Amino acid sequence: MKPLAVVPLCAFTDNYIWTLHNDTEAVVVDPGQSAPVIEYLQAKRLKLSTILLTHHHADHIGGVDDLIKEYSPVIYAPHESRIPQATHRVSAGQVVNLPQFAINLTVMEVPAHTRSHIAYYDGERLFCGDTLFAGGCGRLFEGTAQNMFDALSQFATLPEATLVCCAHEYTLANLRFARAAESDNPRIVEWETEAQKRREHNQPTLPTTIGLEKATNPFMRCHLPTVARSAADFSAQTLLDPVSVLGALREWKNQF
């Protein structure tokens, strides 16, 4: 078996198109733009066999039509009419087999950022689209705080070493917010310093890990008194449960 490379290709201003490949073929996740993908595939002389889509937003599927013309890949996507290009619709618990890379990806349903959002987990890596980010979570365009809490709770059950392949480079802005939400957590400051170094060298801060997110991401720490207190201070309301804390954090972050 050829070694598997996992590479985040930069798109737009802060998107990553995660690309898995061996010596001959590639899989891409959420190609919002075709040009960076085609350029990479041509430089490496790779064929695109498969596209995995997490949700319908244009910055995640905008490159799909061009890639179909060029490579005719198999396309996995959620049951979602706003993604007409799918060749295979998948839902919770279904497995996407990629024998050429010796990986099997289990589909997780995480409706929150959009109502049909899914994620793919291969036992080592999580491709989570716009659900979980380093230090933050996606905006709630079509779901509720409860939906996001449930999605992040599913992710929290994965092994701590799981590599989280998020779709945007939002880490520094998120960690600045995380510091405000939980000012007494030294792990946030350490991670922010490390992330700053990487960005100064133009390197991605991703993938992050489930363990690091559980230690630093306020949206995965809504059960903690410090986080609950700062969310309550922001919203000027008594927040009785972690879901209400998450909802208040999300609103706070929207205007932070």
Residue 21 binds Zn ion (CB under 5 A): no
Q: What's the closest the beta carbon of residue 148 comes to Zn ion, in angstroms?
A: 13
Q: Which is nearer to Zn ion, 202 or 254 (CB)?
A: 254
Distance of CA 205 to the CA centre of its chain: 13
Q: Which is nearer to Zn ion, 13 or 238 (CB)?
A: 13
DSSP string, 164-203: EE-SB--HHHHHHHHHHH-TT-HHHHHHHHHHHHHHHTT-
Tell me which residue of 122, 126, 151 sits closest to 219, measured CA to CA.
151
Q: Which is nearer to Zn ion, 57 or 125 (CB)?
A: 57
Question: According to CB under 5 A, which residues from 29 to 58 bind Zn ion?
Answer: 57
The mark string for 88-127 relative to Zn ion (x by CB under 5 A, - otherwise) is ----------------------------------------
Query: Cα angle vertex 184, ends 213, 253, to 5°?
Result: 60
Q: What's the closest the beta carbon of residue 160 comes to Zn ion, in angstroms?
A: 26
Bridge partners, residue 97, by sequence: 104
Which active-site residues does the annotation give? 55, 57, 59-60, 113, 130, 168
Q: What's the closest the beta carbon of residue 113 comes to Zn ion, in angstroms?
A: 6
Tokens of 251: 């609103």
- CA distances for 50 relative to 105, 221, 238, angstroms: 13, 35, 48
Residue 130 binds Zn ion (CB under 5 A): yes
Binding site for Zn ion (CB under 5 A): 57, 130
